[in-house]
């Protein structure tokens, strides 16, 4: 009986950890549209790193609506969208530019 209770307690702890993680604000950036290619997963970041800088084409987010910045250290033009983005290319900066391959930092406003 004790082994079953320990197993249930461990399972419940794992479930609570997953629920807690998904209710916090986390994000994954993908190199290609529709969540394909290399992935960068993190909490808010002043810089996404050399491997993903200006390469994100889609994103999945959990929790609050993230804000994406064009430049590192949360500078430059920004985009704030709640939920997943299958194609950054669908979001326009102006008449001739879109958000595909432009993300350098992200966080929450």
Model confidence pLDDT, tens digit, residues 56-106 = 999 999 888 999 999 999 999 999 999 999 999 999 999 999 999 999 999
Q: Which residue has the higher pLDDT, 4 or 108?
A: 108
Residue 22: predicted pLDDT:
43
What is the C-alpha to C-alpha distance for residues 82 and 12, in angstroms, rounded to an integer? 29
Side-chain-facing half-sphere of 92: CA atoms under 13 Å: 3
**Single pTM value for the model:** 0.75
Model confidence pLDDT, tens digit, residues 18-67 = 444 444 678 999 999 999 999 999 888 899 999 999 999 999 998 889 99
- Give me the residue label for tokens 């960068």: 40
Structural domains of the chain in order of their starting residue, each with its CATH number:
26-107 (2.60.20.10)
> How does strand 67-71 pair with strand 36-42?
unpaired
Calculate the alpha carbon distances from 53 to 15, 23, 24, 49 in Å.
Answer: 33, 26, 24, 6
């Amino acid at each position: 009986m004790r082994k079953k209770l320990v197993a249930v307690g461990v399972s419940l702890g794992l479930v609570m950890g997953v629920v807690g993680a998904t209710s916090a604000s986390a994000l994954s950036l993908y190199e290609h549209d529709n969540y394909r290619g290399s992935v960068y997963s993190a909490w808010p970041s002043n810089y996404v790193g050399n491997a993903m800088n200006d390469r994100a084409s889609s994103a999945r987010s959990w929790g609050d609506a993230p804000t994406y910045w064009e430049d590192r250290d949360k500078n430059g033009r920004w985009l704030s969208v709640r939920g997943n983005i299958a194609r950054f290319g669908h979001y326009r900066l102006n008449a001739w530019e879109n958000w595909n391959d432009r993300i350098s930092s992200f966080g929450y406003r």
